[in-house]
């Protein structure tokens, strides 16, 4: 029986991981998050834990003694990480260090969810052997944890992903697809960058990729994303068309004009050849992913 602790269980990926794992045989899932559970985890025992509190992490998680840890919790808002670096470091680096220490104590398998933002965006799409060079503090915090993991004797995997979209319950933040849909439904004009390139990832695909890595107890780095390489502007146009909304409300802009606090890498996106070969991972095309989102929202053909 695998006992799997999932951090960030209230988040979009965390929710999907918990429900996917809970349908598998011989797996006990422990969903964790900071603060009360925001969704109904049914008969699973949810753990409210502040991962940056080392004493609490050791006391609570050693008692549970998971055989596997899937670490999906993080502060992912790039601008918040840039303006409050200490907050970002505490929640992304120190919290991860605490979990890694516990994993070492338990000899638990450790899976860490990372990001395309560990790259500088000058050479995408990237494969697993390309050298990271983050250009914002969020990316630096995520890469710092990758380096910490690499210095340990743990059995671990790093799953990097790109521009995750999908539908969750009681989400504390949106994602590009839902943001575009909501703005256009209100008749609000939006500006979307057309000089950044990504491989957008349906959250169900990401959860399945993470599970495939964990099931094999694979080690090392895996790039798990969608397979379509396009700009946020292209994505927004597809969202408008699929939901029957007015694409004339969408204006293209570029990263230089669309000023943000944290620098975004221009060309990331992933080469997913390794995941296809070693994990039999095959993501849906963006068009199909958007149809899935529409069905989950409750809109039928």
pLDDT beneath 50, residues of the chain:
none
Q: Looking at residue 268, what is its pLDDT?
A: 98
CB 164 within 8 A of CB 201: yes
Q: What is the CATH number of domain 2-168+201-227+268-284?
A: 3.40.50.720
Residue 186: CB atoms within 10 Å: 8
- Report pLDDT for 300: 57
SS (H, E, C) the chain: CEEEEEECCCCHHHHHHHHHHCCCCCEEEEEEECCCCCCCCCCCCCEECCCCCHHHHHHHHHHHCCCEEEECCCCCCHHHHHHCHHHHHHHHHHHHHHHHHHHHHHCCEEEEEEEHHHCCCCCCCECCCCCCCCCCHHHHHHHHHHHHHHCCCCCEEEEEECCEECCCCCCCCCCHHHHHHHHHHCCCCEEEECCCEECCEEHHHHHHHHHHHHHHCCCEEEECCCCCCECHHHHHHHHHHHCCCCHHHEEEECCCCCCCCCCCCCECCECCHHHHHHHCCCCCCHHHHHHHHHHHHCCCC
Let me know: does 9 contact 41? Beta carbons within 8 Å: yes
* pLDDT for 260: 82
pTM here is 0.97
Integer CA distances (angstroms), 6 to 45, 51, 89, 157, 207, in order: 12, 12, 20, 14, 12
Span 179-235, pLDDT tens digits? 999 999 999 999 999 999 999 999 999 999 999 999 999 999 999 999 999 999 999
201-213 tens-digit pLDDT: 999 999 999 999 9
- Helix 286-297 × helix 176-185 angle, to 10°: 60
Boundaries of every domain in the chain: 2-168+201-227+268-284
b/e string for 79-97 if b means 16 or more Cβ within 10 A? ebbbeeeeebbbbbbbbbb
């Amino acid at each position: 029986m695998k006992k799997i602790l999932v951090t960030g269980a209230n988040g979009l990926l965390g929710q999907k991981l918990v429900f996917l794992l809970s349908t598998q045989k011989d797996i006990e899932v422990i969903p964790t998050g900071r603060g009360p559970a925001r969704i109904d985890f049914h008969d699973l025992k949810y753990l409210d834990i502040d991962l940056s509190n080392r004493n609490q992490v050791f006391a609570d998680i050693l008692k549970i003694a998971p055989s596997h840890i899937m670490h999906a919790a993080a502060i992912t808002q790039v601008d918040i990480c840039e303006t409050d670096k200490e907050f970002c470091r505490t929640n992304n680096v120190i919290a991860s260090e605490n979990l890694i220490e516990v994993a070492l104590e338990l000899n638990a398998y450790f899976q860490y969810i990372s990001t395309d933002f560990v790259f500088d965006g000058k050479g995408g799409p990237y494969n697993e052997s390309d050298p990271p060079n983050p250009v914002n503090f969020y990316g630096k915090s995520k890469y710092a944890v990758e380096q910490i993991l690499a210095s340990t004797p743990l059995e671990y995997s790093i799953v990097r992903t790109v521009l995750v979209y999908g539908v969750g319950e009681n989400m504390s933040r949106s994602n590009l697809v839902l943001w575009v849909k909501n703005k256009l439904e209100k008749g609000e004009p939006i500006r979307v960058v057309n000089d950044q390139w990504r491989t957008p990832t349906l959250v169900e695909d990401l959860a399945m990729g993470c599970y495939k890595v964990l099931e094999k107890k694979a080690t090392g780095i895996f790039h798990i994303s969608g397979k379509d390489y396009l700009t946020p502007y292209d994505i927004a146009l597809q969202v408008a068309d699929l939901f029957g909304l007015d694409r004339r409300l969408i204006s293209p802009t570029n990263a230089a004009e669309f000023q943000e606090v944290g620098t975004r890498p221009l060309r990331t996106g992933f080469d997913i050849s390794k995941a296809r070969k070693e994990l039999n991972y095959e993501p849906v095309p963006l068009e199909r992913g958007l149809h899935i989102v529409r069905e989950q929202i409750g809109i039928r053909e």
